[in-house]
Amino acid sequence: MKNLDKVYHYIFGSLIVVLCVSMGLEQRSSLLIVILISASKEIYDSLHQNHTSDGSDFTATVVGGLSAIIILQ
């Protein structure tokens, strides 16, 4: 179910943007938050042996955030 994991990352990226925008943040700031959260998660995963760090997880999360921004416009 590796592909399902990417779907979850995409959804969470979208949700983060929607949540940030609903709290009054600008879309650009919301995307920056998605990037920071996603990068932090992948760094955390790379530092822990029982986690798997995957650059495509980062990409899926950020693309989800970008998609939400496009939809919200």
On whether residue 20 sits in a domain, the answer given is yes
Q: What is the pLDDT along the chain (73 residues), one digit of tens a residue?
A: 667 999 999 999 999 999 999 999 999 999 999 999 999 999 999 999 888 888 999 999 999 999 999 999 9
Q: Structural domain tally of the chain?
A: 1
Residue 2 lies in a domain: no
DSSP 66: H
Residue 4 included in any domain: no
Q: Please report whether residue 3 resides in a domain.
A: no
**pTM exceeding 0.75:** yes
Query: Could you tell me if 45 and 51 are in contact, meaning their C-beta atoms sit under 8 angstroms apart?
Result: yes
Helix 2-22 with 27-47: angle, nearest 10 deg? 140
What local confidence, expressed as pLDDT, does residue 53 receive? 83
Q: Which domain holds residue 68?
A: 9-72
For residue 4, the model assigns a pLDDT of 93
Q: Is residue 1 part of a domain?
A: no
